[in-house]
Amino acid sequence: QKEVEQNSGPLSVPEGAIASLNCTYSDRGSQSFFWYRQYSGKSPELIMSIYSNGDKEDGRFTAQLNKASQYVSLLIRDSQPSDSATYLCAAATGANNLFFGTGTRLTVIP
Amino acid sequence: DAGVTQSPTHLIKTRGQQVTLRCSPISGHKSVSWYQQVLGQGPQFIFQYYEKEERGRGNFPDRFSARQFPNYSSELNVNALLLGDSALYLCASSLVSYPNTGELFFGEGSRLTVL
């Protein structure tokens, strides 16, 4: 059983639209959740972290966490072609490591 | 400020050989983790070190080993390489003290190809 699951994608949105990325996790003991962006051939880059239920906004990015539903999402408003990348959802399910999903590839079409 | 630095960036080995990958964390970070990322998959946890002690180990065979030095840099060793070890090996550092995970900051990775 996978610890963290994400939309299989790929996801394509037009420039200026809202991109919605979703993630579920299996371990109810998970306390910390993260979204990473990974450009092709590059390493993951931290975008957002969220620790409590509700929304957390940072610029064009909003992370949402619902621990009862074991669900995490990332919204990207006013999507830009530079947002085209693979987005990785991660959950801290143990004391000392992250479990990552397989990632959702997002393409923003100019 | 320098981020996480890894070396070498690319390397090619043959089956049965051994490889050592190196990592220097962000200044002030005492926790270093290693992840393996196979093409098309998310990173998989291999090891975490904090204050020079192993604090966690993922589901990898004993051919994988690591250590952390007094300056908090780290090495990952893989013995008896298999074709399936071909992957991007990522090092990440964290400011948060064990046992919390905190935010991980990744280096650019070492891309290993095993022929």
Reading chain A (110 residues) residue by residue, the pLDDT tens digits are: 568 999 867 999 999 999 999 999 998 888 899 999 999 989 999 999 999 999 999 999 999 999 999 999 999 999 999 999 999 999 987 656 788 999 999 999 99
Q: Where residue B95 falls among pLDDT bands split at 50, 70, 90?
A: confident
Task: Give the sheet arrangement for strand B19-24, strand by strand.
Answer: B5-7, B19-24, B74-78, B64-68
Q: Which residue has the higher pLDDT, B72 or B2?
A: B72
Determine the pLDDT at residue A3: 87
Decide: residue B61, CB within 10 A, 0-12 exposed, 13-18 middle, 19+ buried.
exposed
Q: Where residue B2 falls among pLDDT bands split at 50, 70, 90?
A: confident
- CA dist., res. A18 & res. B96, Å (int): 33
Determine the pLDDT at residue B73: 97
Name the residue facing B103 among A34, A43, A94 (closest C-beta). Answer: A34
Q: Which residues of A touch B101 (CB under 8 A)?
A: 32, 92, 94-98
Work out the minimum CA distance from B7 to partner chain A, whole angstroms. Answer: 14
Tokens matching residue A23: 């993630």
Chain segment B25-43, per-residue pLDDT in tens = 999 999 999 999 999 899 9
Reply yes or no: is the peptide bond before residue A14 cis, omega within 30 of 0. Answer: no
- CA dist., res. B106 & res. A43, Å (int): 6
Q: Which residues of A touch B35 (CB under 8 A)?
A: 100
The CA–CA distances, whole Å, from B67 to B21, B34, B55, B59, B111 equal 11, 11, 11, 17, 20
Determine the pLDDT at residue A76: 98
- CA dist., res. B39 & res. B85, Å (int): 11
Other Cβ atoms less than 10 A from the Cβ of A70: the count is 16
- CA dist., res. A7 & res. A34, Å (int): 16
Determine the pLDDT at residue A1: 56
Span B59-71, average pLDDT: 96
User: CA B28, A59, A21, A28: dihedral to nearest 10 degrees?
Assistant: 50
> Would you call B42 and A100 a contact, using CB atoms and an 8 Å cutoff?
yes
Span B97-112, average pLDDT: 84
Do A109 and A82 meet the contact criterion of CB atoms below 8 Å apart?
Answer: no
